[in-house]
Chain A
Amino acid sequence: MVLLGQAVVSGILLGGMYALIAMGMTLVMGVMKIINLAHGALVMVGMYATYICFQQWGIDPYLGMFVAMPLLFLLGCLIQRFMINRLLHVESILPENQVLLTVGVMLVLTELVRLVFRSDYRSVATAYSGKTFFLGGVSVNVPMAVGFLIAMGFTYALHLFLTRTDLGRSIRATAQDREAALYMGVNAPRVTVITFGLGAALAAAGGSLLLPLFYLWPDIGHLFTAKSFIITILGGMGSMPGALLGGLALGVAESLGATYISMGYKDVVGLVIFLLVLLFLPGGLKSLLARR
């Protein structure tokens, strides 16, 4: 029973951070109608940025993320502005091929990082790294709890941004009907650039929160692309509450898998769920809620 509680609690904490990353992917998918397969690579670059801050200047990862996020925002904007938006003007290039471009971006980012940092495993050791506290008999890892709380804070801030500001509403409007948004005077090309930047900044935020918990190496991006993709499908494509639910669900599933099957099968559990959802619940968790 304690074991189960333990697994569920750490699953939820981890899942909250996954959800933050997946919301970034969801945001871009909503506006661009493409799966950004470079999303995990952006998480990875964000993690390296936070890692450098820690290694070079001793900046705590929870502060370093505020360096990584604007950097990745800028990188995301540049990718959208000078690569993806360019393709939009070529009529012979189908939207599917924009996805191929994101694969290219993923490869370039991964290999560039490998060039500089090689494939060595890295990690940050902070004073709170191994610390735990007890919550009703369940031991909670400090960086997991802090990461979760910050992730939820960002989730709430994102919600406020998307519902209370003109720019946020314009992002949602562009996702729902791009032409109608143009009629309203939304500068849609600019909105796509900002959205991609925001998606990248959320990737960096989630990555930085996970940095004290994961080993870092250039190929870790693939892991996060897969996770975000699974969460997005699980959450029902393009819905923010869906991404949050999907993130928590994946975190718990992984954690249960690691506890009751084997640590090594943690990531396989996610893929199995992914297949099951595709087969039996193609609309994701959201469709389950809508059916009621």
Chain B
Amino acid sequence: MRHMLNIGGIDVGYGDVQVLWDVSLEVREGEFVALLGANGAGKTTTLNAVSGLLRPRKGTITFLGQDLARTPAYRRAELGIAHVPEGRRLFPEMSVRENLEMGALHGEARRKRRETMEEVFSIFPRLRERQHQLAGSLSGGEQQMLAIGRGLMSRPKLLLLDEPSLGLAPMLVAQVFQVASELHSRGMTILLVEQNVRHALEVCSRAYVLENGRIVLQGTGTELLANPHVREAYLGI
């Protein structure tokens, strides 16, 4: 399998505070990789380094063989990286439709905007019903669907999902994980950040565990589900 994303030993921080220490991680084409860790471990920081909001002080990030060091954040969507951020981060005063349109600003995604929107509507029929409503007025679950739909609008090669199940009722959590697995089975490459460790390990192909800004464990979902440290620290067994 081809390398999609390769993070090689990055250090990332905010001002004087270093948050990530020598983090390495890879996602191959077609994989469903999970990045797990407790609050403040540095998961969001890692994703933001991939989408270019933060610059590593050390180490490299390559996407489909291209070094991203000199690629500004706003060019990365075009390359095929879609970031569905923590807390949805929708445009609250824009309609559902406009939010989706904002997901497809460049190149092929822009040309196929209507077609992709139909696909998104068929995955999330609720969004079609609500297309003229303001995003800020949607329920939490609908907002998460819109956030994912907006990410899909760019016809990405790599989908970054940051805690998509956060704050949702159990039934909706299951639905979000199901949508993620379905996208994966249709060929989407996914990097999922989660605190819902059990669920994430059940659906992913491989996972990394981040603690205090360092990768401490990695393996397949099954391996990590059986790992004593994971069971004790994250599954409470």
Contact = CB atoms under 8 A, between A and B. Distances in A.
Interface of A: 91, 163, 166, 169-170, 172-173, 176-177, 179-188
A179 B77 contact: no
24 contacts: A91-B15, A166-B101, A166-B110, A169-B94, A172-B91, A172-B94, A176-B92, A176-B93, A176-B94, A177-B89, A179-B53, A179-B85, A179-B89, A180-B89, A180-B91, A183-B51, A183-B82, A183-B85, A184-B102, A184-B103, A184-B105, A184-B150, A185-B75, A185-B76
B142 interface: no
Given A176-B92, A176-B94, A177-B89, A185 B105 contact: yes
A163 to B, nearest CB: 8
Contact of A188 (B74, B90, B105, B106): B74
Interface size bucket, B side? 20 to 34
A170 B105 contact: yes
A169 B98 contact: yes
A173 B74 contact: no
Given A170-B102, A172-B94, A182-B52, 11 more contacts: A91-B15, A166-B110, A173-B91, A176-B92, A179-B53, A179-B89, A181-B91, A182-B51, A183-B73, A185-B78, A185-B106
B85 A166 contact: no
B83 interface: yes
A184 B77 contact: yes
Contacts of A182: 51-53, 73-74
B74 A185 contact: yes
B94 A173 contact: yes
Contacts of B90: 177, 180
5 nearest CB pairs, A to B? A185-B77, A180-B89, A183-B83, A176-B91, A182-B73
